[in-house]
Amino acid sequence: MTQTLTLRRPDDWHLHLRDGAMLAAVAPHSAQFGRAIIMPNLVPPVTTGAQAAAYRDRIRAALPAGAALDPQMTLYLTDTTDAADVVQAFRDGIIRAVKLYPAGATTNSASGVTDFPRVQPVLEAMAEAGVTLCVHGEVTDPTVDIFDREAVFIDRVLDPLRRRTPGLRVVMEHITTSDGVAYARAGGDDLAATITTHHLVINRNAILAGGIRPHYYCLPVAKRESHRLALREAASSGDARFFLGTDSAPHPDAAKLQPCGCAGCFTAPNTMSILAQVFEDEGALDRLEGFTALHGAAFYRLPANEDRITLTRRDAPAAYPAQIAAGSEVVTVFDPGFPLYWHLEDK
């Protein structure tokens, strides 16, 4: 029996497209999204409006003809970010947001913020101009257990930052805990949270039980099952504070399958098929459109996409490649561990 779901075209409010051969390989897999917030953690990072504009041009050139994707650029906040450049790039329509990585928290975050008092004037200028701050919410203190780093970040960094910067619009990126869900729920209209596809599917056992599985290693690292269930409840609740940010983060297999492998799950190719199954399992297919196409646009004060996509549930699972080629490398596609009966039509 087939079942059809027609949704407004989804947006991806957190995406890594990289550059060069990797960009060329992965961009077509996100072409079905209407808009995507593009992460700036290139090497070197995207730190100025001019660099963001040039990167946007490279992304557009890498997209196939007719792609829906409109890249929404971000700047990488550093200790030396120029507040005037941020505000100008925002007013010129070059950037949609600024990304805060605590220095050393994750892939290519070495240039991140080390000195919060130094960036306070930038945060205040952003609050005034209405520029959103997207936050990687993990402390980097080596004495804090990696599974506690999100909860500790909320107490030690995020809550004080929001209190001293009234009016700053903040997105807690890729929340992974019930603590993150609770904090987002307790905020006002200026706070929201993205949730990835993979954190709705895996808990930490996927990475560690029965052998170590590097393709499920990402940051923030997946937590215990109770947290995954809290994320599923939040995503499927209809609460507009929660929306999709896939954090699709491609790395060559050669960089993941190492004694010290990279963090990141590449979910762009099969995200919508996975999400439809997750929402079906939650009895919440009627809320998939809110999570993927309405809540994020509303937070970013943008109109929802007018065009539609179709997902069809068929008896035979959709086929996705296990890997894609990227130049001379391969990138493994996230395997959710269950068959994907929801087919995204006309990718």
Q: Of the candidates 41, 111, 176, 197, which one interacts with ligand DOR according to CB under 6 A?
A: 41
3-state secondary structure of 232: helix
The response to whether 219 counts as a known ligand-binding position is yes
Q: What is the spatial distance between Cα 323 and Cα 329, in angstroms, rounded to a whole number?
A: 10
Site residues, Zn ion (CB under 5 A)? 247
Q: How far is the CB of 196 from ligand DOR (least distance, A)?
A: 9
196 binds ligand DOR (CB under 6 A): no
Q: Which does 48 bind (CB under 5 to 8 A by kind): ligand DOR, Zn ion, none?
A: none
103 is written with which tokens?
A: 């220095």
207 binds ligand DOR (CB under 6 A): no
Task: Verify whether residue 79 is a known catalytic residue.
Answer: no
The response to whether 256 counts as a known ligand-binding position is no
For residue 167, give the DSSP letter: T
Q: How far is the CB of 4 from ligand DOR (least distance, A)?
A: 33
Q: List the catalytic residue out of 148, 159, 247, 253.
A: 247
Site size with ligand DOR, rule: CB under 6 A: 11
Q: Considering only residues 77-106, where is the footprint of ligand DOR by CB under 6 A?
A: 106
Task: Cite the beta strand spans of the chain per DSSP E.
Answer: 3-8, 12-15, 35-38, 70-76, 95-100, 132-135, 170-172, 191-195, 242-244, 308-313, 323-326, 329-332, 342-344
Q: Of the candidates 207, 263, 304, 330, which one interacts with ligand DOR according to CB under 6 A?
A: 263
Q: Which does 41 bind (CB under 5 to 8 A by kind): ligand DOR, Zn ion, none?
A: ligand DOR
For residue 267, give the DSSP letter: -
338 is written with which tokens?
A: 């269950």
Residue closer to Zn ion (CB basis): 134 or 284: 134
Residue closer to ligand DOR (CB basis): 249 or 297: 249
The response to whether 318 counts as a known ligand-binding position is no
Q: What is the spatial distance between Cα 229 and Cα 242, in angstroms, rounded to a whole number?
A: 14
The response to whether 295 counts as a known ligand-binding position is no
The response to whether 41 counts as a known ligand-binding position is yes
52-67 burial by CB neighbour count: b if 16+ within 10 A, else e? bbebbeebeebbeeeb
3-state secondary structure of 48: coil
Q: What is the spatial distance between Cα 226 and Cα 206, in angstroms, rounded to a whole number?
A: 14
Pairing of strands 70-76, 12-15: unpaired
Q: How far is the CB of 107 from ligand DOR (least distance, A)?
A: 4
Cβ of 231: how many Cβ atoms within 10 Å? 27
Q: Residue with CB nearest Zn ion?
A: 247
Q: What is the spatial distance between Cα 272 and Cα 285, in angstroms, rounded to a whole number?
A: 12
Q: Are 196 and 216 in contact (CB under 8 A)?
A: no
Percentages helix, strand, coil for the chain (3-state, rounded to 5) are 35, 20, 45
**Residues 106-145 as x/- pattern, contact with ligand DOR by CB under 6 A:** xx----------------------------x---------
| Interface with ligand DOR (CB under 6 A) | 16, 41, 106-107, 136, 218-219, 247, 249, 263-264
Cite the active site residues.
Answer: 247
Binding residues: 14, 16-18, 41, 99, 136, 174, 219, 247, 251, 263
